[in-house]
């Protein structure tokens, strides 16, 4: 088993859950280069990606080189691929959770490259998840813990809704996905919240006395548009179900302490 992007937050969790895997960081396996992996893998857990959503707007070719051409290279290894995709393949206007049968309609460059990457996977599993966080890497939980310790109040967006998913839970679910037929599966934490609600939960669980000032996406003014509601649910009974996001948050905080 080969894990790509092992230096990232999900790749790190996958390497823990699959200790027998050949887990490679970007330095050890750059997916944009011609790939020659020995021994050839039987299956690839493809967690490497360009994940800088705002940066992709400024460099669409760079994002596509990793998320689309890079995925093509990984598929070219000849083994089935578990490709991790994103809630950002949807435009967020449905107003209720997105199911596997919903038609993707990305609004950002990042979302488009993740969708184009899905289309490169001929034999494999597409696992769409959302709002990932873990004890390593850059993520919202770690940022809020830092800001919450420094400030009395932080301004956080309250008009985007999703399901914050702990990478440890997603990595365990990947084991179950490998037992399923090839196809697309929505695997995200149970429950949903806005970023502001998530920040309040982080401060509460971590015992930080920091207030949350609720702002709009427009006020924040980030370069990439984001879906207003990108909650994912599965309509397929065989899809693994994840714990509630608050349980994921507690598991992550336990790891951090
Ligand atoms: N983060 C989220 O909220 C979220 C939500 C839904 C789905 N996903 C998907 O889940 C997967 C894992 O995301 P994550 O949150 O773990 O992201 P991450 O922490 O940013 O990890 C991605 C990893 O890919 C590496 N990478 C970038 N370019 C590469 C290349 N050319 N070759 C090999 N590795 C490369 C990065 O290395 P460097 O750090 O050195 O660049 C990084 O270690 C991605 O497919 C992402 O699209 C993420």
Residue ID of nearest Cα to ligand 1 atom 2: 132
Mean pLDDT over 214-223 rounds to: 95
Q: Is 82 in the pocket of ligand 1 (CB under 6 A)?
A: no
User: Is residue 110 annotated as part of the catalytic site, yes or no?
Assistant: yes
Q: Please give the pLDDT value at position 66.
A: 98
Tell me the pLDDT tens digit for each residue of 23-76.
999 999 999 999 999 999 999 999 999 999 999 999 999 999 999 999 999 999
Q: Separation of 87 CA from ligand 1 center, angstroms?
A: 14
pLDDT tens per residue across span 235-248:
999 999 999 999 99
Mean pLDDT of the chain: 97
User: What's the whole-model pTM score?
Assistant: 0.98
Q: Position of tokens 């996958």?
A: 14
Distance 248 CA to ligand 1 centre (A): 19
Q: How far apart are the first and last CA of the chain?
A: 31
pLDDT of res. 55: 98
Atom of ligand 1 nearest to the CA of 87: 6
Distance 56 CA to ligand 1 centre (A): 13
Cβ proximity of 155 and 213 under 8 Å: yes
Nearest residue to 134 via CA among 47, 2, 8 = 8
Asked whether 108 lines ligand 1 (CB < 6 A), one says: no
Q: How many whole angstroms from 38 Cα to the centroid of ligand 1? A: 23
Percentage of residues in the chain having pLDDT higher than 90: 98
Give the pLDDT confidence of 130-188 residue by residue, as tens digits. 999 999 999 999 999 999 999 999 999 999 999 999 999 999 999 999 999 999 999 99
Strands 165-166 and 132-133: parallel
117 lines ligand 1 (CB under 6 A): no
**pLDDT tens figures, 15-32:** 999 999 999 999 999 999
| Ligand 1 binding pocket includes 5 (Cβ within 6 Å) | yes
Q: What DSSP string runs through 19-84?
A: TTSEE--TTT--TTSPP--SSPPS-EEE------HHHHHH-HHHHHIIIIIHHHHHHTT-S-EEEE
Catalytic residue among 83, 88, 98, 110: 110
Q: Which atom of ligand 1 is nearest to the CA of 51?
A: 20
């Amino acid at each position: 088993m080969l894990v790509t992007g092992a230096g990232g937050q999900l790749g790190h969790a996958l390497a823990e859950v699959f200790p027998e895997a050949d887990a490679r960081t970007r330095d050890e396996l750059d997916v944009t280069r011609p790939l020659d992996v020995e021994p050839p893998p039987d299956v690839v857990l493809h967690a490497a990606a360009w994940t800088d959503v705002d940066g992709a707007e400024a460099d669409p070719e760079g994002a596509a080189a990793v998320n689309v051409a890079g995925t093509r290279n990984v598929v070219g290894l000849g083994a089935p691929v578990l490709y991790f995709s994103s809630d950002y393949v949807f435009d967020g206007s449905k107003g209720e959770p997105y199911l596997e049968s919903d038609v993707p309609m990305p609004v950002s460059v990042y979302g488009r490259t993740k969708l184009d990457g899905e289309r490169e996977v001929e034999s494999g599993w597409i696992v769409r998840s959302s709002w990932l966080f873990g004890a390593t890497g850059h993520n919202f939980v770690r940022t809020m813990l830092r800001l919450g310790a420094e400030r009395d109040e932080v301004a956080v967006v309250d008009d985007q809704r999703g399901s914050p998913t702990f990478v440890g839970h997603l990595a365990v679910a990947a084991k179950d996905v490998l037992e399923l037929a090839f196809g697309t599966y929505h695997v995200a934490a149970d429950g949903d919240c806005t970023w502001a609600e998530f920040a309040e939960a982080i401060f509460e669980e971590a015992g930080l006395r920091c207030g949350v000032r609720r702002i709009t996406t427009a006020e924040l003014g980030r370069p990439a548009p984001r879906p207003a509601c990108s909650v994912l649910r599965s309509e397929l009974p065989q899809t693994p179900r994840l714990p509630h996001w608050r349980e994921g948050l507690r598991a992550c905080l336990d790891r951090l302490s």
